[in-house]
């Protein structure tokens, strides 16, 4: 049996809410990150980032992946090997 639970369905932008409970936080974070990763938003944001901000963001996200994902999960889910 797979011990990982399925992520909750994302919320609409107007329904993003943090701090109420874990389930709402997870749904809000899913929706937030999906919107963050939309190409038009990234094409606007990334050129405006300072080099230090790019490095800091990459370091932060890499640390989270390393902490919470096995190497196999990283390759399968993130790199799509």
Question: How far out from the chain centre does Cα 11 lie?
Answer: 14
Domain count, the chain: 2
CB distance 11 to 26 below 8 Å: no
Residues 15 and 44 occupy one common structural domain: yes
The length of the chain in residues reads 81
pLDDT of residue 26: 93
**52 pLDDT more than 90:** yes
Residues 37 and 62 occupy one common structural domain: no
Residues 37 and 23 occupy one common structural domain: yes
CB distance 37 to 57 below 8 Å: no
pLDDT of residue 5: 67
Confidence of residue 15 (pLDDT cuts 50, 70, 90): confident
In tens, the pLDDT along 25-35 reads 999 999 999 99
Residues 21 and 39 occupy one common structural domain: yes
Residues 42 and 54 occupy one common structural domain: no
Residues 56 and 38 occupy one common structural domain: no
**48 pLDDT more than 80:** yes
* Segments forming the whole domain that contains residue 18: 10-48
């Amino acid at each position: 049996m797979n011990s990982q639970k399925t992520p909750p369905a994302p919320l609409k932008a107007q329904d993003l809410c943090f701090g109420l409970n874990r389930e709402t936080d997870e749904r809000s974070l899913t929706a937030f990150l999906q919107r963050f990763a939309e190409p038009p938003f990234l094409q606007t944001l990334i050129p405006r980032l300072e080099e230090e901000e790019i490095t800091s963001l990459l370091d932060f996200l890499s640390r989270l992946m390393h902490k919470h994902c096995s190497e196999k999960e990283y390759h399968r889910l993130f790199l799509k090997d």
